[in-house]
Amino acid sequence: MSGAEVYAALFGGQVDPDWESYASCREVDADLFFPEERESAGRVKAICRSCSVRDECLATAIRRGESHGIWGGMTARERGALARSLRDDGFAVPRAARRPA
């Protein structure tokens, strides 16, 4: 996918406010999506790959500046790299919100 296609998929339209009710993870233990450092995220990412609202989930995490967990099949580090890459390509991508300490 090109940067433009990724951007359009993530930020090109309105996000259904009820997207979470369609998520593949809705009946899975939420703790799985917050693995300990160095713990594999492969099992969780497999759930995300088959999810019909993966883009909405990922866009929501980037917009909110989520700094933990697996969202839309990506870790916080992967989401940050994606957002930086899109910004470098000239797309208006929200910067991660700073969380109070």
**40-87 residue pLDDT tens:** 888 899 999 999 999 899 988 988 889 899 999 999 999 999 988 888
For the question of whether the overall pTM of this predicted structure is more than 0.85, the answer is: no
DSSP H or E run through 12? none
Establish how many alpha carbons lie within 13 A of residue 8's alpha carbon, considering only the half-sphere containing its beta carbon.
5
* pLDDT at site 95: 72
- Between CA 47 and CA 2 the distance in angstroms is 24
Question: Residues within the annotated binding site?
Answer: 25, 48, 51, 57
Kindly tell me if the per-residue pLDDT of 21 is higher than 60: yes
Q: Could you list the residues known to form a binding site for [4Fe-4S] cluster, using ranges.
A: 25, 48, 51, 57
